[in-house]
Amino acid sequence: MNEFSQFKNQEQLSKDIFQLFQNGIEFSDFKIIIKSKKETVIHAHKAILSSRSEYFYGLFRSKMKESQEGIVVFTDVSPEIFKLIIHYIYTGIIDINLNNAFEALISARKLLLDSGIINFLTMFIEENIQLENVIDILAISSRLNYQDLYFYCMKFVMVHFQEIIHSQRFLKFSANDLNFLLNQPNFEIENEIDLFYLLLKWVQFHSDSTSQSDVEMGEETNNTREAFSQFIGKIRFCDINPVDLQKIQKLKLIPNSIMHDILEFSHFIQNEPYSKRIYELKQKYHQQNFAIFQSRDCFSESSIIKGKKKYSQKLKNWIKKPEFFSSMILGYSAKKDGFCGKSFHQKCDNSGRSLVVIQTTNGSIFGGFTDVGWRRTTGNNFWIKDENAFIFTLRNIQKTEPQRFKLKKSKSKYSILYRDYHGPSFGGGDITIYSSSSNQEDLFDTFYSDFGYTYEVPSQIEDTLQKAKIFLAGSFDNWKIEEIEVYFEKQNF
């Protein structure tokens, strides 16, 4: 025998409460008037409205005119949409489609309905965002400050930007939305010169003052120059080739002083890539919050990865720290700074999280990532623990796809190695670079890879120790280094 039981009949409860609404004026104590093309009157019940809507709860507790007279008037919503909302208030059920979801969301938010319906409507809209409607939804969510939906639209735009720019939809961006998009650290475009002309086209569309013939003759009006100025700091001129820069100069859109620096930077990049002047110009415009000399290819200074999008995308996916890549610099290059422990530690010690990329003379490309970076240790403990560290291969003689290898949990205390005469070394021998003389000023001359001691080996070689030893560099210790590059965030530079 059951001493306790429970009976639920929520469906009938919902029907009965809605029947109360459908009875119209009978038992109602409040009137809602919708003024659109024609006036619509809805008879409702304060108790139900106040229990389901914070807007009505606040209204009825106040001494406002609407509360005293028992009437509220809405002029910014259609009768059809409001009836949908009222149906939800009385029953907890709403039927929507692509044509009415956004208006329903606006009304639900205005009436301060529960988070469940807000989230449902928002997710429905997100799931139905397409190239044809994303700019419109972006604009509305921006105007109404719907941040979650706005950021979702922005992510969609960034993924599909190449498709958007090949249509007239691009011209529908507002200036604020366009600037916000260009400021995103993970915004990408295939060719920077295309972005320049897209922005010029957008300016012309929104200003009506400049004809295409004016552009071709290099006779841009002051209005066009002024409107275009908001975008100058967002264009990565360092990614535009010298021939196209000359064409841009003829348009006279860029102030002379800035254009002079752009051409000077281009000259040094082409002819003296390690010139101090390059860093002076970068610093000058970084202080002005101009990104004109910050390449969208975060490996633009790399002799190993530059232009290899497959590799750079893999590294971004593995590290999952967009802020790292947006502020990353090449802090150490063995070719430029020296193949010795002294040079490496002078450049890299206490620099924080670091990415190491190594290329051997046989073409292998591998390296590692550490969240803590290199710092001097005490006593005889030469290892630094970093549970987020990993090593990777981008290219190897086995011709496998790029892979990442995580730490063995039991060996995490051996994550990275610090010694004065060592280069960037990972694990208890997994990647080891040092000078056999133990003198930090002597060149690196000893390299070996005892892969598998500290970091997990891939499944295809886990049964063969010898295969692991040659997996990264092509051999255990018979390999030479072509280049070592270490990247870290510029605030630590």
Model pLDDT for residues 26-53, shown as the tens digit of each residue:
888 899 999 988 899 999 999 999 999 9
Mean pLDDT of 280-289: 90
Task: List the one residue out of 444, 253, 235 whose CA is nearest residue 337.
Answer: 444
Quick one: pLDDT at residue 378? Answer: 65
Quick one: pLDDT at residue 491? Answer: 57
**To the nearest whole percent, how much of the chain has pLDDT over 70?**
94
Residue 493: pLDDT band (50, 70, 90) is: very low
CB of 464 within 8 A of CB of 457? no
Average pLDDT, the chain: 89
Quick one: pLDDT at residue 209? Answer: 47
How many CA atoms within 13 Å lie on the side-chain side of 432? 24
CA angle 156, 160, 161 (to 5 degrees): 105
- With a cut of 80, say whether residue 5 has pLDDT above it: no
Specify the higher pLDDT residue, 339 or 381. Answer: 339
- With a cut of 50, say whether residue 492 has pLDDT above it: no
Residue 414 tokens, joined: 């051996």
Three-state DSSP at 44 gives strand
Pick the range with the lowest mean pLDDT from 140-144, 211-215, 272-276, 328-332. 211-215
- With a cut of 70, say whether residue 339 has pLDDT above it: yes
Could you count the other beta carbons within 10 Å of the beta carbon of residue 488? 26
Burial 9-48 (b: 16+ CB within 10 A, else e): eeeeeeeeebeebeeeeeebebbbebeeeeebebbbbbeb
Quick one: pLDDT at residue 137? Answer: 93
In the chain the first and final C-alpha atoms are separated, in Å, by: 76
Domains and CATH numbers, the chain: 10-127 (3.30.710.10), 134-287 (no CATH), 309-492 (no CATH)
CB of 159 within 8 A of CB of 134? no
Model pLDDT for residues 245-264, shown as the tens digit of each residue:
999 999 999 999 999 999 99
Who's near 469: CB < 8 A, 6+ residues apart?
449, 450, 451, 452, 475, 476
Model pLDDT for residues 189-214, shown as the tens digit of each residue:
888 999 999 999 999 998 864 445 44
Quick one: pLDDT at residue 1? Answer: 61
**To the nearest whole percent, how much of the chain has pLDDT over 90?**
65
pTM flag (> 0.75): no
State the pairing for strand pair 383-384/365-370.
Answer: unpaired
Model pLDDT for residues 439-485, shown as the tens digit of each residue:
999 999 999 999 999 999 987 765 566 778 899 999 999 899 999 99
Model pLDDT for residues 394-440, shown as the tens digit of each residue:
999 888 999 999 999 899 999 999 999 999 999 999 999 999 999 99
Quick one: pLDDT at residue 6? Answer: 75
Model pLDDT for residues 167-196, shown as the tens digit of each residue:
888 999 999 999 999 988 778 888 899 999
Token look-up 């255990």 returns 476
